[in-house]
Chain A
Amino acid sequence: MTEFALILISTILVNNFVLVKFLGLCPFMGVSRKLETAMGMGLATTFVLTLSAASSELIDHYLLEPFDITYLRTITFILVIAAVVGFTEMVVQKTSPLLYKVLGIYLPLITTNCAVLGVALLNVQESHGFLGSALYGFGAAIGFTLVLVLFAAIRERVAVADVPTPFKGNAISLITAGLMSLAFMGFSGLIRG
C-alpha cells in the first residue's frame, strides 16, 4: 500500500513529468492558453495515459518478453497508444457527446504527447508490475493535469497583466514555466529515500 502511495506522490509532485522530466511539453505550452481547454486536455490525457500504461505493460509482459522481442518495444507501444486513443475517441463520442465536444481536437492529439510513450517505456524500465504501471500512468497524468491547470491559470492572469514589452507573449510564458519547474524542485525533499 505504501508503495502505491509513494508511486502516486512521486509521479504527481516529486518526479512530475512536465516540470521535472520535461516530457509532454508541447501540450503544456500549446493548450494552456485557457483554463477550460487545459481541463479538457488534462481529463483526456488522464484517461488515455492510465489505459495505455496498463495495456502496454500487459503486452510487454505477456507478448514481447516471452518471445524475446523487447527491442520492438517503442513501435509496439506507439501502436498500442494509437489504438487506445482511437478506441477511446469512438467510445467517448458514443457514450458522452458532451465530453467529446469538450475534449474536441485534444483527444486525437494525445497520440503525439511524448509523456504517454515515456510513461510506457519507464514502466518497463523500472518494472512496476501491472497495478504499479497503471498507477504510475494515472499519477503521471494527474501530475500533468495539475501542472497544466496551474500553468493555464497563471497564463490567463499574465495575459492581462502589465508585462514589459520584451517579455510579452511566449517569452513570459516560458519564464513562468521555468519558475514553476524551479518551484517543483522543492518537492524533491518530500520523500527521504
Chain B
Amino acid sequence: MLMAILIVSVLAGLFGLLLGFASIRFKVEGDPIVDQIDQLLPQTQCGQCGFPGCRPYAEAIASGEADINRCPPGGETTVQALADLLGVEPKPLDAEAGEPSDIPMVAVIHEEYCIGCTLCIQACPVDAIVGAPKQMHTVIADECTGCKLCVPACPVDTITMEPIPPTPENWTWPFPDKPYIPITVETAHEQ
C-alpha cells in the first residue's frame, strides 16, 4: 500500500519535473507586442471580431491584418487604449463587428426610388434583377446570391442588403470550406 503510494507519487513527480524542464527548455518566445495587445483586450473570447479568440485577434492586429476597432465588448475604451499603444488614431467601433458577416443576405430595391437606369441589371452576375429601361426594377429574391455587386452600381442608392432570417425552411447544413468540385475537362485545364 505504502509502496503503491510512493511509486505513483514518484512517477507523478518525475512527469512534473519532465514537463517543467520541457516548458523551460522548449520555451517559445512570443511576440512582446502581441502580449501587450492581448492584455488590453477584455479576454471574453467571444469571437465577435471575427477571430477565434482574443489572442488570435491580438496577433492579427500586430501583423496588421485586422483593425483595432473590432472588439464590441471592449468598447471605445479598448479602442482608445489600443490606439495609444500602437500610436495610431482611434476609430469608432466597426459596425460590422458584432454580427457575423456571412449570414445570408438578399438585395432589395426600394422600388419607389428606382429610376429604371438598368445599371444594376448589368452589374448582377446571376441575372437576378428584372426590369426594363425607364421601368422599375426588382430583385428575384430566390435567385439573388447576396454578392452586393449591385449596391455600388445604383446611382440613386436605392438598393440595400437585407439579412435573411434563418427559418426551419431555409436553414441548411453549413457547407464545408472547400465544397466538392467535380473535376471536369474545364477545371482540369484550369489547374
Interface residues of A (CB under 8 A from B): 33-34, 59, 63-64, 67, 69, 72, 75-76, 79-80, 82-83, 86-87, 90-91, 93-95, 97, 155-157, 159-160, 163, 168-169
Set of chain B residues within 8 Å of A94, measured between Cβ atoms: 26-28
CB of B8 within 8 A of CB of A76, answer yes
CB of A72 within 8 A of CB of B26, answer no
Q: With A72-B4, A87-B18 in contact, do A160 and B11 touch (Cβ < 8 Å)?
A: no
Interchain CA distance A54-B22 in the complex, whole Å? 20
Known: A72-B7, A87-B18. 15 other contacts (CB 8 A): A34-B177, A63-B7, A72-B8, A76-B8, A79-B8, A79-B11, A79-B15, A80-B15, A90-B26, A94-B26, A94-B28, A97-B28, A156-B178, A156-B180, A168-B172
* Nearest B residue to A93, CB-CB: B28
- The A-contacting residues of B in range 16-59, CB under 8 angstroms, are 18-19, 22-23, 26-28
A-B contact count (CB 8 A): 66
Q: With A72-B4, A87-B18 in contact, do A157 and B28 touch (Cβ < 8 Å)?
A: no
Which of A69, A79, A156, A169 interacts with B4 by CB under 8 Å? Answer: A69
Set of chain B residues within 8 Å of A64, measured between Cβ atoms: 7
Q: With A87-B22, A90-B23 in contact, do A76 and B28 touch (Cβ < 8 Å)?
A: no
Report the minimal beta-carbon distance from A104 to chain B, rounded to whole angstroms.
9
Q: With A67-B7, A76-B8, A87-B19 in contact, do A160 and B26 touch (Cβ < 8 Å)?
A: no
Which of B8, B22, B180 interacts with A90 by CB under 8 Å? Answer: B22
Interchain CA distance A79-B14 in the complex, whole Å? 11
Chain A CB within 8 A of B3 CB: yes
Chain A CB within 8 A of B147 CB: no
* Nearest B residue to A97, CB-CB: B28
CB of A69 within 8 A of CB of B180, answer no
